[in-house]
Structure 1
Amino acid sequence: MLAQDLSRFRVPATFRGRSGWYVQLWWLVQASLFTWSPQVLYGWRRFLLRLFGAKIGKGVIIRPSTRITYPWKVSIGDFAWVGDDVVLYSLGEIDIGANAVVSQRCYLCTGSHDYTQPTFDIYTKPILVGAEAWLATDVFVAPGVRIGRGAVVGARSSVFEDIPELMLAKGTPAKPFKKRLLTGEQN
């Protein structure tokens, strides 16, 4: 028996959440109108994402080099930031809370394959980035992970397990190491 027989792999019919034509249309729009838009046209990119079913809050900053697989599976809260070269591999749901920051080159991955099956079945698990959380540069977030409200994940970390709210975490795998203490004026 083969450990993996990719000739038998099939994407389930409703997996994408939209027709193949709709998916291709989004990818065309993303590769042109979204990517080619000037950096400061955040409203234009919010409009395009909403047009394709994303739930985008007010004041969201999303850079033109961001890649989103299926925007209809993405929700981004008010005043959140999504940086350059971020990948939202939204085979499953991705929810980014209000005032959260997903910094440059982060990769949020909601899907993987069942390596115990020769058919290499695909599956998804949602990702939640809590309100006021910060994913620093080049963080990888695995399927099914929840980043708590106000948590901070250090640069180049890989997150495979939930991070509690208001905790600082770092490393591969990322581990919480300190409570986030807030100082200064609070509004």
Structure 2
Amino acid sequence: MVALSGGRMIDLAASKTEWSTRIKLRRALWTFGVEPLVRWLPKPCSPVRVIALRLMGAKIGPHCLLMPGIKVLMPWNLRLEDHVAIGRGVDVYNFAMVEIRRQTVISQDTHLCTGSHDFRLPHMPLIHRPIRIGSGCWVAAGVFICPGVSVADGVVVGARSVVSKSLDIPWSVYAGNPCARITDRRMASD
């Protein structure tokens, strides 16, 4: 226990996250058994990654591309619709559900983080809320998306942005830290 100014106390020893035995076994099987076998397979082996994630409980639609180096904490908390592409080194830290709708691209080194800690309590317990990303979106390289965020259909999120609040205006371009709306997203004709 650590005493802070104003007599407040922090006690991380009291921080306990209770997981069922079933969840612990599933996480161990994925983390130490299946994921190390498929994570670094080359790009053409994307279907093997998809099959492994499906076997562990992920719901993945047809024609998805999952690049090497993707980390998924809990596959059973992952829902991808059709034609979703996830780039190299994306970290899906999904204590809660991560849902990505159709025709969406998540670029390399993005972090989809559903978990955090309640810093208002002395033992800082783990908290988690889902992330939902709409159809036709592009989340550019190195974006950090916080717990509980929803991204509307057609949104583009600029590289290295930090998304701490939902992006509610469809077909818009957002960027920055904190992420803010910049302009409409207008599609050019071919």
* Same fold (TM > 0.5): yes
- Of 171, 176, 180, the residue aligned with 2:181 is 176
One-letter identity of the residue aligned with 1:166: W
Question: Could you list the per-position Cα deviations for residues 84-132 of structure 1 after superposition, in whole angstroms to 9, with x for gaps in the alignment?
Answer: 0000000111001111010000001001111011111111111011111
1:37-76 to structure 2, matched below 5 A, reads 37-76=41-80
Give, in angstroms, the shift of residue 20 of structure 1. Answer: 1.2
Within 2, Cα distance between the matches of 1:24 and 1:131?
32
Identity %: 31
How large is the Cα RMSD of the aligned pairs? 1.5
Q: Is the 8 A contact 1:39 1:63 kept in 2?
A: yes
| Structure 2 runs not aligned, ≥5 long | 1-6
Say which one has the larger Rg: 2
Give, in angstroms, the shift of residue 70 of structure 1. Answer: 0.2
Give the paired residue count: 183
| TM-score, normalised via structure 2 length | 0.91
SS in 2 for 1:40: helix
The structure with more helix, counted as a fraction of residues: 2
Within 1, Cα distance between the matches of 2:34 and 2:140?
24
Give, in angstroms, the shift of residue 31 of structure 1. Answer: 4.1
One-letter identity of the residue aligned with 1:169: Y
**Which residue number corresponds to residue 8 of structure 1?**
14
Give, in angstroms, the shift of residue 50 of structure 1. Answer: 0.3
- Of 74, 83, 88, the residue aligned with 2:87 is 83
The change in CA–CA distance for 1:83 and 1:3 in structure 2 (over 3 A counts) is farther
| Structure 1 runs not aligned, ≥5 long | none
Which one is further off, 32-41 or 81-90? Answer: 32-41
Which one is further off, 29-38 or 80-89? Answer: 29-38
One-letter identity of the residue aligned with 1:172: N
**Which residue number corresponds to residue 165 of structure 1?**
170
SS in 1 for 2:92: strand
SS in 1 for 2:103: coil
Question: Could you list the per-position Cα deviations for residues 106-165 of structure 1 after superposition, in whole angstroms to 9, with x for gaps in the alignment?
Answer: 001001111011111111111011111000000000001111101000000000111121
**Which residue number corresponds to residue 112 of structure 1?**
116
| TM-score, normalised via structure 1 length | 0.93
Within 2, Cα distance between the matches of 1:174 and 1:18?
38
